[in-house]
Structure 1
Amino acid sequence: MTHVLEQGVPLGQTIVPQSNGLPPEEDEHSAKLSAWADKYRGATVADLDLPPALSTSPSTSLAEAMLSASSHDYSHLTVLSENTRSLLGYLPISKLKHLFESKQLQPSDPVSKAVVRFQRRGEKRYQVITMETELWELEGFFENIGPLATGELQDFAVVTDGGRKFVLGVVTRSDLEEFVKRRPA
């Protein structure tokens, strides 16, 4: 069976014929990206109305960091350098609870002992997520599909300015779910 494009059918940006003139085979990833683009209809991270990020420093005690996170109902804290205010990594609160229970860390230990540092070199790619990032791209980041894929699934994203100088917020998968629930159809 041969596939032929009908005469007069306009080709959109995503419909580019293969070198043999046949229409492209839509794969599972491009179908998901297309569905997400339809679901979010041009919305960006700015449309999520995220609360400001709650950051801590490497020298803060884990007890103090955990208290700050729980009082604001945050699942992750960003960790900033005390000198340069640059983003060093993050502190996952659920992991911290486990480390306390297993006696691997003490509440009096500094954040530097538990911080998960961002890797900007090597196999893992650091992706910049800004207020202008479209939500379909963000869902792709979480699912490791599309232009912001990092090589693994993600649970949250740190939102920065384009130059990564300022941490503006933290967005999770549940933030996307809540956005879809409250947005009119």
Structure 2
Amino acid sequence: MEILKTDIKDLLIIKPNKFVDSRGFFLESYNKERYYTLDIVNEFVQDNVSCSQYGVIRGLHYQLAPYSQAKLVQVLKGKIIDAVVDLRRDSDTFGKSFSIELSQENGLQLLVPRGFAHGFSVLSNEVIFSYKCDNLYNKEAERGLLYNDPNLNINWQIPTNEAIVSEKDLLHPHFKDAEYNF
């Protein structure tokens, strides 16, 4: 397993060992002891899986503190652009976005710390997306940022006329108007 640092503090790319042969592949997607030895000490309490079709854009979602969530995200099938925005006011990268392609083929994971908005767009016909959370879902603390806020400069790699976005996500505010407490 390899840990790759990003330009944003605490936002990590994880490259698990992937063993491929004529039968397919095997990879260990999570091992608490191994992650702890690499200083990834989140205590994950909830696992989620979503299935989406090409063009779907989900996000950008987060929960206010004290219900904020760190997430360990990965793609089980297909390919996405995964995007985050740093909402930590005391961070040198406050308001900065980061995106990465996650796919079944590359097997990469992204460790998203608390204090980030998170979302993804589906580039393949179908995607199965999995993520671990270190805090439970809390509806009252749920917030979001408008996915296409031009100030965030996120390239979702989906043509505007092909984007499929939920009504709820279309109502999220721009970054400058959003509520966050990190």
Name the TM tier (shorter chain).
under 0.3
Query: In proportion to residue count, which structure has more helix?
Result: 1
- The structure with more radius of gyration: 1
Structure 1 or 2: more strand by fraction: 2
TM-score (norm. length: structure 1): 0.27
Structure of greater relative contact order (alpha carbons < 8 Å, 6+ residues apart): 2
